[in-house]
Structure 1
Amino acid sequence: MVDNFTSERKLANLTGKRLREYVDREEFFEWLDAHHQQVEFIFHLGARTDTTEQNRDVLNVLNLDYSKQMWLACCQYQLPLVYASSAATYGSGTLGYSDDDALLPLLRPLNPYGESKNDFDNWAVQQPAKPLFWAGLKFFNVYGPNEYHKGRMASVILHAFRQIQDTGSMTLFRSHNPEYADGEQQRDFVYVKDVVEVCFFLLHNRRNSGIYNLGTGEARTFLDLTLSTFAALDRTADIRFRDTPEDIRDTYQYFTQADMSKLRSIGYDRPFTRLEDGISDYVRNYLVPGQYY
């Protein structure tokens, strides 16, 4: 496993896991030079994922330059690579949510984080040298166990669980778009267990390189999500609203929905977990028993 291991919150996620070796991200490429014959496949999922990050130098180092170095190393040693892109690349969604490569140069993300991910996607598809197999996964709103170190960027489900446990209520962002009522903002929420299944599929099916959406293909409202969290806790719903923070208000996505036809076209045929079922599993089998930091 490769990461920055200075965060105790991250280390807590590894409790009970079996790992062969820890490698600091700053030392990884030197380590790979010496051990590449032991590596069969690389999942590069690390990034600065804070959508409020405005320091482009940080995003360039972690989300762009590091990913380029990873790509080139995989080319050098002919290693298959799956890396994390993001639905943030789609911006306001005016061009839809198709993962067609032809749309990549036309996308206009709403924040520097999305720009950094889109910059790498565009760079990757233009490279003459490519890994033995590669896939960039445009993650939509992923939720589930082991997101506890993310703080503000953790899923609304985790925030809802904590608020409901502490106060008996949940506060959502008010809509500042006249096309959406409060709580009716819609996102494509995908359970992390489904993300793992797709990664395993690509591990064993390496014939079709490219960029792929990874959502469910069905947008759901934040009210749906919050009501499902109350239901999983067997609590009566008490939902309130507050203004969306000003630092994200102008770059807030009111609707996302993955076009999943490309992933389906290469043979991925497993159903995606319904939001209600995913939340029930997450809350009842992980959060309530206290399996979190």
Structure 2
Amino acid sequence: MGFGCNAAGIVGARIIDSPRERLIAIITNNFVPCNGRFPTLIAIITMFFVGTAGTVGQSLLSTLLLTCVIVLGVVMTFFISHLLSKTILKGVPSSFTLELPPYRRPQIGKVIVRSIFDRTLFVLGRAVAVAAPAGLVIWIMANVMVGDASLLSHCAGFLDPFARLLGLDGVILMAFILGFPANEIVIPIIIMAYMATGSILELESLSELKALLVNNGWTWLTAVCTMLFSLMHWPCSTTCITIKKETQSLKWTAVSFLVPTITGMLICFVFAGTMRLLGVA
């Protein structure tokens, strides 16, 4: 379920009887790329590794590369799950028994109503509750000027030295931070920061977007590190709120936030450092 929405995946972990294993599933769910991260991954793959012509061969290559990214996320899910089960969440693995219930005729109306009210509106309500104030923060960051630059530019400049260690730049890292309410707005925020506009916008084509990114210093290494960090960074706000409700614990919410974030930063740091030492970046 996390491939659609990580918040829905967290709610879906209710079916796991073991509290320990349910916590492991909740903490590692964010390594599964949700629909909010797929546009970023697909756009970067298309621009920097496949091409924007849209031929059949390029489409197949794009699909293969995206599949590799997804498989990496699944591998990291298993790896971190194993690591957690050997450290902070030790315990005896539980057995899994699947018991088939008696067959009953499905009640279509009841299924639709429960799906809408118990799941869809539940998640959307939390998203709206965070999106409104977050939108105000983004507008203030982009439009309030300090000296000859916006707050967004000043914050990006402050983060830039650290971001460079991860193979990113200050604008990219700031876009991920401001994209906390929804992963879909990371690329629009990057465009807004590079173009120094006061509102979020999108370019008409991937060719224009690639030209903008390259003109602002993007290389293949930047593209790969951005994909890795997109795959492995903190959960979005809706997912964090859902984790808090499901676990009833700020501690486990913080752990669920920190585990993918630290993992993503370490992987980006190691990959970027290795490529620079080898002289291929």
Query: When the two structures are superposed, what TM-score results if normalisation uses the length of structure 2?
Result: 0.25
More strand by share: 1
Larger radius of gyration: 2
